Structures are given as C-alpha cells and as structure tokens.
Amino acid sequence: MKSVPDTRYGEFAVWLNQALGDRRLPPTSIAKRWGWSPATVFGWLGGRTLPNPEKAVKLAETLKVPVIEVLVRSGSVPAESFELDPTQIDYRAAIRAQHPDDADVLIEMINAFLEARVGRRVKRRSPAAGEPPEEAPEAS
C-alpha cells in the first residue's frame, strides 16, 4: 500500500484500505455495484478525495458497518456531534467476516462481557439513595 498524507483524507484512506482488505473486496467491485467511476473509489483509497454523504451511506451498506462510522470517518458528520457507547459499536459484522464458524459464540461472549461491564459501571456511578457504592469483588 502506498503512503498517504496524515490528514483526514489519509486517515479515511487507511481505514478504507483496511476495511476492504479485511473483507477481500476489490475496489472495482464497489464502483461497479453502485455505478461509480473506479477513479472515485481509488481517489478515496489514495487519500485524494472523500465520499459525499450519499456515497458514504452506500459505502457503509457495502462494508456492513454502521452508517455513522463512515459519515464520521469521511468528515460528513463531526465526531463531537454524538457520543459512542461501547454497546453501540457494531462488532458483529466484523466478527462474522473474520470468524464465520465461531461468530455466534464470540458474539455471545462479547455481549455478556458488555452487559456485565456496563451494569457494574452504572451501579458504581449511581448507587441508590442512602446505599454505599458497590465494592469490587474479591479476587480468587
């Protein structure tokens, strides 16, 4: 992969190159699917241009990632305009792509971990009125 400038364009290019490589998607297949010029996709990959919001939505659909991720990475939506909770991250698509045989088990494990972690955080941040904060469990 050729070096790209360290800018928003370059960061998007690095992310998109990685996303396409992880999914084994050739850039020309995306262009063909949506009727775009291959030069459009190669412009993103080379860090020369960014997708507009309409193309970002279609790119998210193709990559099976949350639309907001592509919109933020492409600069269409400022990252500061929303807060990302760990339970909102769409890790399922990435796991299914990387580990199709074990995806259900891995997703179940991550869900259990997130539920336990978020539950502990909520209890520690806001104990019921008059109750002491929850103590950490003893190590075994």
User: Domain ends where: 29, 64, 81?
Assistant: 81
Question: With 70 as the cut, is the pLDDT of residue 59 above it?
Answer: yes
User: Do 106 and 137 form a contact (C-beta atoms < 8 A)?
Assistant: no
| Predicted confidence (pLDDT) per residue in 11-57, tens digit | 999 999 999 999 999 999 999 999 999 999 999 999 999 999 889 98
User: Do 27 and 16 form a contact (C-beta atoms < 8 A)?
Assistant: no
Residue 135 in any domain: the answer is no
Task: Indicate the number of domains in the chain.
Answer: 2
pLDDT-derived band at 2, boundaries 50, 70, 90: low
Distance, in Å, from the CA atom of 124 to the CA atom of 51, rounded to the nearest integer, reads 42
Distance, in Å, from the CA atom of 31 to the CA atom of 58, rounded to the nearest integer, reads 11
Which residues contact residue 86 at a Cβ distance below 8 angstroms, ignoring those fewer than 6 apart?
Answer: 114, 117, 118
Both 66 and 94 in one domain: the answer is: no
Residue 17 in any domain: the answer is yes
pLDDT of residue 103: 78
pTM of the shown model: 0.56
| Predicted confidence (pLDDT) per residue in 84-138, tens digit | 555 455 667 766 776 788 778 877 777 776 666 655 443 333 444 454 554 544 4
- Domain that residue 20 falls in: 8-81
pLDDT of residue 37: 96
Both 17 and 76 in one domain: the answer is: yes
Both 40 and 102 in one domain: the answer is: no
Distance, in Å, from the CA atom of 62 to the CA atom of 60, rounded to the nearest integer, reads 5
Residue 133 in any domain: the answer is no
